[in-house]
Structure formats: C-alpha cells, structure tokens
Amino acid sequence: MISAGDFRNGVTFEMDGNVYQIIEFQHVKPGKGAAFVRTKIRNVIAGSVVERTFNPNDKYPTAYVERKPMQYLYNDGELYYFMDMESYEQIPISKSVLDDNFKFVKENMECTVMSFKGNIFGVAPPNFVELQVTATDPGFKGDTATNVTKPATVETGAEIKVPLFIEEGEMIRIDTRTGEYMERA
C-alpha cells in the first residue's frame, strides 16, 4: 500500500480497478484547511491523462508493472513480433498497443515491453536511435537565417525535420520520445 503523501514521479498504483502512474505531483499546504496532493496521473492501460487531487492520508495498493527487454523481430500485418531475450520465446503484440513513437524502431532493436498481471499494455522504444536518411531535399545556401529545417524520411519510413546540412545516406540520431533530430551519428 502507498499513501498519497508518498507519491513521487513514476510511482504506479491501483485505483478504481485501473492502474495509474504519477506524471507530476505537488504537495500543497494552504494557509487555511487541510493539506492535499495535486497530481497529474496517466492510466497506463488506456493511456489517458487526468489531473486529480488526493488527501495525503488516502492509501492505494501498489501496482507492479513488469518491464522486460525484448528484441523486435518483424511485423506481419497487424501483429508485431518480439523475442524474449532470455527464453527466446516469440510474442505477438497487436499494433493497437504500440505508441506513435514506435515508427522509429527497425528490426532487431531492443525495446522494453510493459505488462501488468500478464497483460501487455505498452512497448517503449530505446530513447535514442540511429537511423539512415533515405530521402530529403537538398539544402540551399542562403537559407540559413535561423534554425531552418527540412523534411527527411528515415529508413523506417518515418518523417522528421532535420537541419539543411543533412543529406541522403547520412546516419542521424533521433530522440524517440520527442521525434526530434539530435545530431549526426
């Protein structure tokens, strides 16, 4: 059991039959009245985010979310296959479970598969990936006033904005959490 007074970022707990993770929290002690905890919580299964206040004395059961490293193998239509690195067992995961940032993952990359009581609810790609630029327009001299970007397609088919000096065939590093270009690889 965890009390609302002990909430910290990343803590997972069960409430109303759902599993929630703390995104932000703030302990508030007003001049008048009782203290409370203002939070922003994410339903880890549905993905929805809500703001809610708690009494610091409220207690909730701790939810143990299993995070397991698995290797992405291939996709077959709506199913994406991952291999358990320890048992070499292949697990199919539905496309609906994958987040939008999965578009930066290529075959044989290691991802973190998250499950609660055996039900897989999410796949987290590595925070940074190195991908090759397969298509982009050439940059023109003189277009460099400030932070000018151009669209580029990477080897997974995802499109991102890159600086003008990036050319086709170059390897670049991408932050999968934001989908932004970081640097040349």
Q: Is the pLDDT of residue 158 over 80?
A: yes
Distance CA 159, CA 169 (A): 15
pTM over 0.75: no
Question: Looking at residue 141, what is its pLDDT?
Answer: 62
Closest CA to 108 of 70, 73, 158: 73
CB 11 within 8 A of CB 65: no
pLDDT digits (tens, 9 = 90+) for 27-80: 988 888 889 999 999 888 777 889 999 988 889 998 888 889 999 999 888 899
Tell me what pLDDT residue 144 has.
58
Side chain identity, residue 117: K
Identity of the amino acid at 7 = F
What is residue 99's predicted lDDT score, i.e. its pLDDT?
A: 79
Q: For residue 79, what are the β-bridge partners?
A: 76, 94
All domains of the chain in start order, with CATH: 2-60 (2.30.30.30), 66-124 (2.40.50.140), 128-184 (2.40.50.140)
**What is the spatial distance between Cα 116 and Cα 44, in angstroms, rounded to a whole number?**
9
10 — pLDDT class (breaks 50, 70, 90): confident
Cβ neighbours of residue 98 under 8 Å, at least 6 residues apart?
A: 80, 123
Could you tell me what percent of the chain has a pLDDT over 70?
Answer: 96
| pLDDT greater at residue 178 or residue 146 | 178
